[in-house]
Chains A and B, each alone.
Chain A
Amino acid sequence: MSGPNTDYDPVEVTPLKAEEVERMRDEAVAAIAAAADLEQLKQVRLDHAGDRSPLALANREIGALPPQARKEAGARVGQARGAVTKALGERTSVLEDEHEQRMLVEERVDVTLPTKRRRAGARHPITTFSERLSDVFLAMGWEVAEGPWVEAEWLNFDALNMGPDHPARTMQDTFWLEPADAALVLRTHTSPVQARTMLSQQPPIYVVCPGRVYRTDEVDATHSPVFHQIEGLVVDEGITMAHLKGTLDHMTTALFGEGITTRFRPSYFPFTEPSAEMDMVCFVCRGVDSDACRTCRGEGWIELGGCGVVNPRVLTACGIDPEVYSGIAFGFGIDRMLMFRHNVTDLRDVFEGDVRFASAFGTEI
């Protein structure tokens, strides 16, 4: 390296010659273009743009020039270094793109591999279907009432106009609890919840009572000693059978679609008078060409359950004045409706706890 040219000698410095600078620049640009990957480019950067690269060294020699020559040499070297930096930048960008392209290809995975590491849980379809049913009534402003499963005999029978000698009391085969005179039963229907509701509040009453009930049925494909009912109760001024029909029509329409309405047939229940059996239009065949329909077995109608006008004797026993108020009530089996709505053929599936059953329904129904 030359010392500072302080005596203004017109010294000739070889590396700063124009052709020399051009050569260094061209070599650098060529090397940059030749770098095949980012690793090579790193070395090229050191060789041609680093502190010890020819152009960097040439730059240091500028001080050795006479002052009037420095400016020109400085500009020459500066332009050359600028060209190198630009070439480096462009090449880096190209090689980075290439690198990324390669990476993206190399990182390809088989997206068809199985991804399920944890099994999904599920709520029981009886639970979700009870909620779904309740939703229809909640949307009308009704509320959901509940009660205990072991119930006082008086609430399960007497308060509902089923006295000790009422034939209906033998129609339902009841689980009685010890001691035999404890007057406690596993509730045979959700009706005691209606009685409890009436005993705890005055009208207007608009409630549904979904829940578990018990009868001494042996287990088979359509019977179970444990099953589920939903009952509805309205007690208000001026309530009529028309309100019962309107409510049930709305429910079946909400659950099964437009046109799926109900019909009444006279029947008998101690807690209602007049009493009716209710049927709904078969939601599969819609009552048209029913003969081949397996859902309604050719009837065009599906039996739902019982309903009627609350017997004034029940209102009296529950402390509601039948001269002022009238009521309507209905009830049907949740399990049974679940079965025909979802084509479940064996009631045992509901109670055996096989996860494949509930899992099929998920968390809503």
Chain B
Amino acid sequence: MKAPLSWIREYVDLPADVTLSALTDRLTMLGLKLEAVTNPADAVTGPLVVGRVLTLEKEPQKNGKTINWCTVDVGDANGTGEPQGIVCGAHNFVEGDLVVVCLPGAVLPGDFEISARKTYGHLSAGMICSAAELGLGTDHDGIIVLPADAGAPGDDAFDVLGMDDPVIEFEINPDRAYALSLRGIAREAALGFDLPFTDPAARDTPAANADGHPVVVDDAAGCPVFVARSVSGFDPTATTPGWMATRLEQAGMRPVSLAVDVTNYVMLELGRPIHGYDREKLSGAVRVRRAAAGEKLTTLDGVVRTLSAEDLVVTDDSGIIGLGGVMGGETTEISETTTSILVEAAHWDAVSMFRTGKRHRLTSEAGKRNERGVDPEITEAAADRVVELLVELGGATADAGVTVVGTPPARVSITIPVDLPARISGIDISAETTLAHLRAVGCEVAIDGDTLTAVAPSWRPDLTDPYDLVEEVVRIVGYDQVPSVLPPAPAGRGRSEAQRLRRRVGTTLAGAGLVETISYPFVGDADWDRLGLAEGDERRTALRVVNPLNNEEPFLATTLLPGLLKALARNVGRGTTDVALFETSLVFEPTGAKAPLLGVDRRPSDEEWASIEKAVPRQPMHLAIALTGHAEDAGWWGAGRLASWSDAIGTVRALADELGVELTVTATTREPWHPGRCAELRIGERVIGHAGELHPKVCKAYAVPARTAVAEIDLDALLEHATTVVTGPEFSSFPVAKEDVALVVDADVPAAAVEAALREGAGELLESIALFDVFTGEQVGEGKKSLAYALRFRAPDRTLKEGEASAAREAAVAMAAERTGAVQR
């Protein structure tokens, strides 16, 4: 909302010591937040003076233009008293006109410095200004011609033009609809400085009578009050006076025609939207009703709208003539020939206005006010003000008929403990202060012992609840008066187990050299295809966004790999070729259930709550990693090592070790992994994820380097099994006995199976086992591989006897032979 300071001053007499910044500071602290102040005078540096055109010679130029060589009387403003010679290209003035002249040395908006300069064969010493050149609107039609009585040559034109009129732009919160008017803003200014307020809506209005235009309201809930007034003999050629056009422009509205401008002006003044009809285009009574579904109306913006049964419409005998409170129709629109005007000032149900505006995607200055709540008690005053201006400015005659249908809704009365504002704010606020401030905002307050009852003023439909009154009192006392006190929280338990474990996961992975990323969750069919997911793959069943930002990516991720691979490709594309990424994020599993919309007047019942919980999709937290390039860098020390499928598996394994979870790794096939290089990761029988090398096709599809390795696991599942309380280890200080063994097995026997057999066969003395070599080749035989293990044996309570370790080794080998066909080399 933009409010010219001069307009505010009409209703509140601000003393000189209230500076502009004092005013905006106070209003901001009252809840009308300052957005910006613009003042045309700030953008212009003088000398800017009134001048009288003494001579004007038209001089055609070779380029086809005609310029005016003028001499202009600028009084003593130029220091000489001699006429000033100025070249001017505009043609909307004649000798004798009063114009606005900026003399050399002046600076116009855009740092445009005026100096005497040679042009078109003359020395032009200054400029005759247009409104646009002074930053006063967009009218480029010519220079400003002042009224004959505007002043004398040499007068300061800042004053004459009223240029020093700051326009304050406020951000108005939805609950303060009353401040979408000069009436509301000035009232707050008066409140803020404890000054008297002149209410522009306080005016005597003629009583309703039977002579007015007939109005029938079928839906009193939707339109509690409908006031109709009319004027005749309106001069359609009458133009909007400059002061009104200026104020409309200052407030951000475009002047259109006098009749329309008057309704807009009154809306800005009082906050009450007004609609004007060409009365001669009306046939029969004006009627307000709900539309029948499917009815059509062409609104003023030329759009044909199909109406819903909830829309409030205004009709006459010809049918629908307007969307009540939101926008009028074309058929009864005021035109350049209109002489008889019906003025509608109606109070509309705010919720209905909001729904209609949303349904038809209609936003208008009128709609904005009607849907947030307008003072229902000023319909007659607003209509009367419009009539007054049409009479005064448009030469019209006010018709005697006055139609008033309905009565304004009753004012809301709220009862609170007198000390509630003090209790809720923590400020020491006396009962007297509370009463005074509530009265200052316009409440009628009655006190009864420890409670008070406040009747909210008609312009404050937002005041409905006890805490609304608290806010009114506290904002006037001042939010800066709130003391700073720490609340007495009970002793806490710190982070939850899951939160601590997730932090541990992040630290572990970062310690292993991986960098965390955050990706958008939006994916599309193309991602499923790039990953090579089969038609029936469960990951293709995803939640779909109704209104995605990108129609190609309407789904919510069921796997973190698309986001991670895109990030990987971005890094590689930007020249970082050795990349190790991880992301922990929720993925979304559709439930198909619909969430109930419950009431808010009580806690949901257990069943209702269960139905919400059931409808909210399962969203497990996943962990994904992606690796490409060097795991260990090449350098002066040697060649380095490229990340591979084993790093992807190894990273998850190391994480499981860190969390004390035993992970089982077996070979499997699953998209998007390389079919021969994909590990299934299990805890017991539960599959928690997969790791390995990315399928070459997937690498190409996501433009990531070949051999990129990835893993994705259900992190929640891993954390569920984490060892949270570690039992302190007991370890032997007796000597260790080391035994190596090399076994030959069929090439397709998993190393994990051999190791498991060795462990079982070795028995309790086995302390650790490590595979230190895998070898294939002629010596081992076709289709075979050799696995070399280092075994360490130790007893907890004694030194092993000669032969004990080798016996255990033999037992281990025997078990491996039995289980896996292993043969000792």
Contact = CB atoms under 8 A, between A and B. Distances in A.
A120 interface: yes
Contact of B506 (A117, A123, A158): A123
Interface stretch (A2-10, A57-65, A90-98, A264-272): A264-272
Given A170-B358, A225-B520, A363 B507 contact: yes
B293 interface: no
Contacts of B632: 117-118
Nearest to A319: B603
Nearest to A183: B595
Query: Of B485, B568, B574, B601, which is in contact with the most chain A CB atoms at under 10 Å from its CB?
Result: B485
Contact of A242 (B426, B545, B568, B640): B426
B617 A121 contact: no
A118 B515 CA distance: 13
A138 B518 CA distance: 25
Given A183-B595, A183-B615, A353 B570 contact: yes
Given A184-B615, A240-B426, A351-B518, A117 B490 contact: no
Q: Which of A118, A146, A274 has the most CB of B within 10 A?
A: A274
Nearest to A269: B173
Contact of B547 (A113, A116, A216): A216
B487 A236 contact: yes
Contact of B595 (A152, A180, A218, A358): A152
A34 interface: no
A148 B595 CA distance: 14
B159 interface: no
B581 A141 contact: no
Contacts of B612: 152, 154-155
B489 A140 contact: yes
Interface in A150-176: 150-155, 158-159, 161, 163-165, 167-168, 170-171, 175-176
B574 A354 contact: yes
Nearest to B582: A121
Nearest to A261: B484
B465 A312 contact: yes
A124 B635 contact: no
Contacts of A161: 600
A345 interface: no
Contacts of A277: 33
Given A234-B487, A243-B487, A276-B479, A117 B603 contact: no
Nearest to B634: A117
B519 A150 contact: no
Nearest to A178: B544
Interface string B393-430: 00000000000000000000000000000011111000
A144 interface: yes
Contacts of A117: 632-633, 635, 637, 640
Nearest to B175: A268
B600 A158 contact: yes
Interface residues of B, number: 111
Nearest to B371: A167
Contacts of A171: 174
Contacts of A311: 465, 467
B515 A121 contact: yes
Given A118-B632, A143-B493, A355-B571, A123 B507 contact: yes
Nearest to A126: B518
Contacts of B174: 167-168, 171, 268
B426 A241 contact: yes
Interface stretch (B110-118, B468-476, B674-682): B468-476
Contact of A175 (B173, B545, B564, B567): B545
A240 B424 contact: yes
A244 B484 CA distance: 8
Contact of A274 (B475, B506, B602): B475
A138 B588 contact: no
Given A240-B426, A264-B482, A148 B633 contact: no
B202 interface: no
Interface string B623-642: 00000000111011100100
Contact of B580 (A119, A127, A317, A352): A119
Contact of B486 (A119, A238, A246, A353): A246
Interface in B26-40: 28-31, 33
B64 interface: no
Interface stretch (B47-55, B161-169, B494-502): B494-502
Interface in B450-494: 465-468, 470-471, 474-475, 479-480, 482-494
Contacts of B480: 263-264
Nearest to B603: A319
B514 A121 contact: yes
A263 B467 CA distance: 21
Contact of B483 (A123, A245, A319, A326): A245
A102 interface: no
Nearest to B598: A154
Contact of A182 (B466, B594, B636): B594
A52 to B, nearest CB: 41
B518 A316 contact: no
A284 interface: no
Contacts of A218: 549
A108 interface: no
A141 B489 CA distance: 6
Given A165-B355, A265-B33, A319-B602, A181 B518 contact: no
A122 interface: yes
Contacts of A275: 471
A320 B686 CA distance: 41
B626 to A, nearest CB: 10
Contacts of B425: 240-242, 274
A186 B479 contact: no
Contact of A148 (B351, B593, B617): B617
Interface in B533-574: 543-549, 556, 563-564, 566-568, 570-571, 574
Contact of A140 (B486, B493, B509, B631): B486
A242 B485 contact: yes
A352 B570 contact: yes
A149 interface: yes
Contact of B424 (A150, A241, A266): A241
A146 B520 CA distance: 19
B79 interface: no
A204 interface: yes
B627 to A, nearest CB: 11
Contacts of A87: none
Contacts of A204: 489-490
A266 B31 contact: yes
Nearest to A352: B570
Contact of B619 (A121, A150, A167, A241): A150
A146 B716 CA distance: 14
A128 to B, nearest CB: 8
Contacts of A241: 424-427, 474, 479, 482
A285 interface: no
21 contacts: A119-B513, A119-B633, A121-B509, A140-B492, A149-B619, A151-B616, A165-B354, A176-B545, A176-B547, A184-B616, A186-B556, A206-B492, A249-B484, A264-B480, A266-B471, A268-B174, A273-B467, A274-B479, A317-B601, A354-B567, A354-B576
Given A164-B597, A183-B596, 10 more contacts: A138-B492, A138-B494, A143-B493, A154-B612, A165-B351, A234-B489, A242-B483, A245-B484, A274-B425, A312-B466
Interface of A: 113-114, 116-124, 126-127, 131, 134, 138, 140-144, 146, 148-155, 158-159, 161, 163-165, 167-168, 170-171, 175-184, 186, 199, 204, 206, 212, 216, 218, 225-226, 234, 236, 238-247, 249-250, 261, 263-268, 273-277, 309, 311-313, 316-319, 326, 328, 350-356, 358-359, 362-363
Top 8 A-B residue pairs of the complex, sorted by shortest distance between their CB atoms: A319-B603, A353-B567, A242-B426, A240-B426, A268-B173, A266-B31, A353-B517, A274-B471
